[in-house]
Amino acid sequence: MSVLVVTGTGAAVGKTVVAAAVAALALARGAAVAVVKPAQTGLPPGRPGDLDEVIRLSGVTTTFELARFAEPLPPAAAARAAGLPPVSMPTAALLVRELAGSSRLVLVEGSGGLLERYDEDGATIADLARQLGAQVLVVAGAGRDAVNHTALTLEALAHRGLDLAGLVIGRWPGEPAAAGRGTVADLEMLAARPLAGALPDGAGALGREAFAAVARRGLGPTLGGAFDPAAFRQETL
């Protein structure tokens, strides 16, 4: 049994695609996988959300979305704007523990960054990870703010005593600018370890079979893939 919390250094860095890639590789190994999204924001009910993307890309069938709010805001603010109750982190923790009893891997995909508020008391995905004793996989961007945002996220993780499962670049551009290429060494220095993966921008538009191959190339051995951080680092020089 293993629980892995997937968070990002911010919004739109590729968390959902990374979660789908981890799920796809675990399923390929024959593992039972469940995916939990405590809060989906920015979409009204009835519209395909992040879990629909995870299902489409990976083939996982056990998924749970605990709350949905239409406004594209952090979960607590989105719930307040909708006049709805916020997400209950104790309820989320209970569900994840129940799923962990029958699944080899439970993935929990956060909304936005590590410290986005889920309720009026300030509960975050970091608090959920601590309640579950789960490792945290951090998904970083590749733009000019990547190093700063990653440094802040990793500092917050360390301050809370959380265990970093790895650092993955979620949307590596096909033709990275010089600034983007130069971030790889800095990101690895911040994480104090080689990258755990880098998925190409646009991977989420692929079909399931092609996505599985990209996941295998783009995630490292600890996540079930064959990503070589040294070779990737050399390519970015």
Mean pLDDT across the chain: 95
> In terms of C-beta density within 10 A (0-12 exposed, 13-18 middle, 19 or more buried), how is residue 68 classed?
buried
228, pLDDT greater than 70: yes
Distance CA 107, CA 3 (A): 6
Q: Average pLDDT for residues 144-164, to the nearest whole number?
A: 96
pLDDT at 102: 94
pLDDT at 175: 77
pLDDT at 236: 78
Q: Average pLDDT for residues 219-230, to the nearest whole number?
A: 97
CB count, 10 Å around CB of 231?
9
pLDDT at 127: 97
* Chain center to CA of 129: 13
188 within 8 A of 194, measured Cβ to Cβ: yes
* Active site members: 37
Distance CA 74, CA 215 (A): 28
pLDDT at 143: 83
* Domains of the chain by start residue, with CATH: 2-235 (3.40.50.300)
pLDDT at 30: 96
Distance CA 150, CA 166 (A): 12
pLDDT tens digits, 11-57: 999 999 999 999 999 999 999 999 999 999 999 999 999 999 999 99
237, pLDDT greater than 80: no
Q: What is the pTM of this model?
A: 0.96
